[in-house]
A and B are shown apart, each in its own frame.
Chain A
Amino acid sequence: MTIGAEVPRDRAKRLLSGRGRYVDDINLPRMLHLALVRSPHAHARIGAIDRADALALPGIVAVLTAADLETAVSSWRAAHKLFPGMAAPEQSALARDVVRWQGEAVAAVLGESRAVAEDGAERVSVDWRELPAVMDANQALAPEAAVLHGDMANNLAFAAEITAGDAEAAFRAAAHVAEEHFRFHRHSGVSLEPRGIIAEFEPGESRLTVHQSHQTPHQQQDLYARLLGLPEHKVRVICPDVGGAFGLKHHLMADELVACAAARLLCRPVKYIADRLESFLSDVHCRDHEVHARMAFSPTGEILALQVDDLFNAGAYGQYPRSSIAEGNQIIRLTGAPYRHANYQANLRMAFLNKSILGHIRSVGHPIACAVAERLIDLGASRLGLDPIAVRRRNYLNEADFPTTSVGGVEFENLSFTACLDKALEIIDVAQFRQEQAELRTRNVHRGIGVATFVELTAIGPEYYGEGGQHISAQETCLLRLEASGAVRCYTGATDQGQGIDTGIQQVVAGVLGVPLSEVEVISGDSALCPMGGGSWGSRGAALAGEAALRAAATLRQNILAIAASLLQKNATELTIEQGMVVDIATTYAHMAVSEISRIGHFQPYSIPGDVTADLTVVERYATRGRLFLAGNGVQIAIVEVDVDTGIVRPLRHLVVHDCGRILNPLLVREQIRGGAVQGIGAALYEELRYDPAGQLLTGSFADYLVPMAGEMPDIEVAHIETPTETSVLGAKGAGEAGTAGAVGAILNAVNDAISPFAASIAEVPITPARLLRALGRF
C-alpha cells in the first residue's frame, strides 16, 4: 500500500544536489533590485526625506516613499471579526509620518543591482524626530506610556477572558496551589532561505506576476489583487522551491508589497530578497509572553482549578491578514487542555509596542500553553510528594471523556494521552534514570528528566478565518489529469516548503488509484495553475489537501473502472486497479493497463458508450464542517544535563510519542517531529531576539541570535500512536506543530528537575546560562 509507506521526499535529491530553484535563483530581463531604507529608531516621526544624493548615483533608478506608493497600493488593517474588540491600526507598505519599530521601511531604493541599491539606501537621509520607545508590554499598558497609534487611547490592542466553573472557590478550597510567573522571550521562525519576491507588472495587460517564497499563493493572489486594485485573474503568484517557512511565510509582508508597488510604478520586474539582518529586524516574530498561572490540587493530586493570565504584545501593528491574536488566544484555550479540570479562569491582554510585528510561527501559542501547565503539574506534584507522572496520568482526559469540548472551548474528537504516555515509558525507563540521577549527583553531575503532554491543533479549516472575514483558509480542491500515457498530473492547493507534502499527496493519489507512485506527478505552488486552496500552514496539508486528493483519486478511479467495465462487458464492481492494471477482483486476472484506458479515453472516446462517465480530468473538494481544528496529541520526555558551574544545559535524550492519526508517510512525519523538536529546543535554550531599552535589536546576526545546531542536539527519538480522525476517509491529522509544542515544556521541566537539589527553579525561556546561574544563586 502506497499510503503509509516510507517514501523519501521527491524533491530531496534535487535540493540536496544544489539544484533547487529558489526565488533568488530566478533572474528576469530588465529586473531591478530593491533595497529598503529602514528606520534606525524604534519610534520616531519621519521628517523630510532627502533622496537627491541617492538618485545621483549611477545605477539608481528610483527612490520611492510612502507618498509615491499611494496611487499604487492601498493600506490595510489586521482585523478579525471573531475578535470584534481588537484594535486594528492602519498600516501601509512604507511607513507614513511615524515609524514604530527599528527596521520599519520608509523608502524604497531601486537599482540595477542589490549592491548599488544598498549604496543608494545609504545616501537617503531622513530627518528623524525620535519618540519614546515602548519595549515591554507592562510598560506599554502603564498609564504614562507613549501611545503608538494616534487613533487609540492607549496601547491595549485586545483583552479577553474565559471563565468556566468557579476557579476562585476551588483555589480557596485546595490542598495545594502551585503558582509560577513565566517569561517566554521573543524569537522567530528563522528559515534558511529568507523572504524573497520578484514582482513583474505588464501594464499592457494590467498583469502582475509574482514569484515569491511563500506558503499561500492563493491568499497572496487575493491580497495583491485587492491591495493593488487589480482584477484577481490578472494576478499570478508562483511559489518555486521554498527553503523553509515555519509560518513566517504565510503572512503579507509590507516589504514584499513595496516590491509589487514599485514593479507596477516602474513597469520593470523588481526583486527583493531580505538579507539576514533585515530578517531579524523585520520578519514576523513570535512568543514574547509573560504568563502568570496557578493550579489548584487536591491532596491526591487531582487538578481542581487553573488560572492563567497572559500578557503579550502584537509588536507595532496587527499582522495582516491573520491578525496577531492567535498566539494569546491559543494559550488561554490550550493551557491545561490534556487534563480534566472544571474550574478555569483565563485572561489575556495584547499590547502594541515598538517591535516588529508578532505573527504566527510554527506551533502558535502551543509551546507556552504546554510549558505553563506542565511546569505547574511538576511544581504541584513535588509539593504534594507525588510522582509527577502519576499526577499526569490521573488527570488525563481519557477514552471515556471523548468526544469533549475543553474548558478552553476546543473540541477533542479522540485523543490518546494515556497510550502515548505508556509508550513513552516503555522507551524511557524512568526508574532506572532516577537511580542513575541519584548516583551521578554524588559526583556533582546533575541530570534531570522532564515530561510534557501536549495537544496539537492541526488542519485549520475554513471556519476560523471564514468567520473572521479573511480569504485565507480555503476549502481544498484537487484536480487530477489522467494523461494520454496513463500517468497522472495532480494539482493541489497545498504547498511544499521542504516538508514534503507533495510526496504525501502523491502517495494518496497513487494509493487510492492503484498506480505506481512514479506515475503521479504533483504540481503545487502556482495560483494560476492550481485549484484555489489554503496552502500549507497550521498542519493542514495532509489532513485537508490529502483528503481532497483522496476524493479526486477515488472519482478518477471510478471513471477508469467505468470505462474498463464498458469495454470489458463487465460490472465495474468486479474490477479493481493494481499497479496500473485493471484487475478482475475474483480471478486477479489483469485485463488491461490504465494507460490503455487513457489512450482510448482520449483518442478513441467514440468507443465508450455515451452514458458512461468517462471524465479523465476530475476535480474534488474537501472542507471540514463545524470544526475549527483537528486536535492531535502526544508526550515528550527530555533528559538534560546541567552544568551547575557554567549554566550550560546539554540535552541528552529527547523522545516524542505522537498521534497524528493516519500516517501518510512515516519518514515525513518523523522529519516534522524532529525538526519541530529542534525548533522547540531552540526556543527552550537558545533563540531570543533581544532589544535594548531604546528599542535597538541586539541580535541582528547568527553570532548573537543562536539557533540550535546539530552538535548540541540529541538524537530525537520518535514513536507513534495512530488514532485516525473519523471526520475524513483518510483519517490524517496534522504533524507539523507537535515537536515544537512540547519541547519547551519538556526541557523546562527537565532543567528544573536537574537543579531541584539546590532548591532553585527557573521559569524563563530561553534558559540561558546566565539566567540559570542566577536562579542557582551562583553569581
Chain B
Amino acid sequence: MKAPDFDYERPADLPGALDLLARHGAEASLIAGGQSLLTLLNFRLAAPELLIDIGRLAALKQLVETDRHIEIGGLLRHCDLAASPLIARALPLLHQAIGHIAHPAVRHRGTIGGSLAMADPAAELAACCLALDGQFSLLSTRGQRWVAAGDFFQGIYATALAPDEILTAVRLPKGEPGGISIFDEVARRRGDFALAGLAFAATPQAGGLKGVRLALLGVADRPILARDTMALLESGPLNQARVEQAAARIVGEVDPPEDPAYPPAYRRHLVGVLLRRTLQRVLMAFSA
C-alpha cells in the first residue's frame, strides 16, 4: 500500500498553480488536505504523475461576508469552518453538518474544496451546498466560471471540474432571518460517512413552510434534492398528517444503490426516519 512514484510541486501562488495545471492537466492531481487523495494513491486507485500541492495558496483561504452571501475559500479546512462565528451565525446548516465530518485529526487537514471536488455521495458539505443552492467558482488559465451545486455533482466521485480547473471558492446565500436549518444523519459510529443524511432549510410561513430545501446524502450516486417532498411541504400547513405524508413521499422518492451490507430498502427507511425526526423538530419549534 505505497503510492506509485510521482513528482511534487508546491506553487507559491494561484497563477503558479493554474499554470502547472494548464501544462499538466490530466496527468496531474491537486492535493489539498490529502485526506481522500492519499488513500486513493496508496490503494493505487489513482496514479498521477504530478501532485500539485495547493496548501500555500493564500488566495484560497479567505472567508468573506457580503450583503447576501458568504464566500468560503476552497482551502478552508473543516476545523476552520467549525470554529468560525460567522459560519455559525450565517450558515447554521453548515455549522451543524461539520460536526458530523470524520474526527478532529481529519477535520484539521481536510478542506471544503477537497471535499467538494472529491464528490463522495455521502459527504456532508456537498449536501449542504446543494441544499443552500451554492455556487462554486472554478478557475483555470482559461478563466473563471460559476457552477451551481446542482450541476457540479455528476455521479460518484464525478464533478464538473475540468482537469485544469481549481475550485477556488464556494458562494452560499446567507440564511434568512427566522429560517430553520437542520442537519441530521445516521452513521454507524461517530465520524463515519453517513448511511443516510439530510440537509434541510426552510422559512416558516403561516403555520407552514416556504423556500423548503431538502438535500439527501448517502442515498444516491451524488447528493440529491428531494423535489417532490419539498413541493409537498410547501403545499400547506405543517401538521402530523403532513409529516407522515412527507415521510412516505420521500421514501418513494429515493432509489439507493445496491449494497450488501445496507440494502436499498434500509436506506430508504432511514430517509423516512430522518425526515420525520426533522419535521418533528420543526413542529416543536412552531409550538414553542
Contact = CB atoms under 8 A, between A and B. Distances in A.
A760 to B, nearest CB: 15
A774 B260 CA distance: 14
Nearest to A115: B2
Interface size class of A (residues with CB under 8 A): 20 to 34
Contact of A769 (B1, B5, B191, B266): B266
A686 B189 contact: yes
A157 to B, nearest CB: 27
A646 B197 CA distance: 12
Interface stretch (B85-93, B160-168, B267-275): B267-275
A703 B265 CA distance: 22
A547 B120 CA distance: 56
B80 to A, nearest CB: 22
B3 interface: yes
Contact of B260 (A647, A690, A706, A779): A690
A648 interface: yes
Contacts of B193: 703
A686 B191 CA distance: 15
Contacts of B39: 701
Interface string A663-704: 000000000000000000000001000101000001001011
A277 B265 CA distance: 30
A18 interface: no
A276 B1 contact: yes
Contacts of A717: none
A778 B269 contact: yes
Given A115-B5, A119-B4, A645-B273, A770 B188 contact: no
Given A703-B193, A769-B266, A773-B269, A698 B260 contact: yes
A770 B261 contact: yes
A122 interface: yes
A698 B261 contact: yes
Contacts of A711: 189-191
Give the secondary structure class of B's interface: loop
Nearest to A273: B1
Contacts of B260: 690, 692, 698
Contacts of A703: 193
A646 B273 contact: yes
Contacts of B195: 769
A118 B44 CA distance: 10
B157 interface: no
B263 interface: yes
Contacts of A698: 260-261
B189 A712 contact: yes
B188 A648 contact: yes
A706 B188 contact: yes
Nearest to B187: A648
Contacts of A779: 263, 265-266, 268-269
A763 to B, nearest CB: 18
- A645, A692, A712: which has the most chain B beta carbons within 10 Å? A645
B5 A119 contact: yes
Contacts of B277: 645
B37 to A, nearest CB: 15
B186 interface: yes
Contacts of B273: 645-646
B266 A773 contact: yes
Interface string B257-288: 00011110110111001000100000000000
Interface string A753-779: 000000000000000111001100011
A110 to B, nearest CB: 15
Nearest to A114: B2
Contact of A690 (B43, B188, B189, B261): B261
A709 interface: yes
A661 B243 CA distance: 59
Given A770-B263, A770-B266, A779-B269, A709 B189 contact: yes
Interface in A481-497: none
Nearest to A277: B1
Nearest to B42: A275
B267 to A, nearest CB: 9
Given A690-B261, A768-B261, A277 B190 contact: no
Interface in B180-209: 186, 188-193, 195
A444 to B, nearest CB: 11
Interface in A466-506: none
A721 B206 CA distance: 65
Nearest to A707: B189
A646 B190 CA distance: 14
Given A115-B5, A118-B2, A692-B260, A646 B270 contact: yes
- B1, B4, B263, B265: which has the most chain A beta carbons within 10 Å? B1
Contacts of A645: 273, 277
A115 B44 CA distance: 11
Nearest to B3: A115
Nearest to A691: B260
Contacts of A646: 186, 270, 273
Interface of A: 113-115, 118-119, 122, 275-278, 645-648, 686, 690, 692, 698, 701, 703-704, 706, 709, 711-712, 768-770, 773-774, 778-779
25 contacts: A115-B2, A115-B3, A118-B4, A119-B4, A122-B44, A277-B1, A645-B277, A648-B186, A686-B188, A690-B261, A698-B261, A701-B39, A706-B192, A709-B189, A709-B190, A709-B191, A711-B191, A712-B190, A769-B186, A769-B188, A769-B195, A769-B266, A770-B262, A770-B266, A779-B265
Which 8 residue pairs across A and B have the least CB separation, nearest first? A275-B1, A115-B2, A711-B190, A779-B269, A645-B273, A779-B265, A770-B266, A646-B186
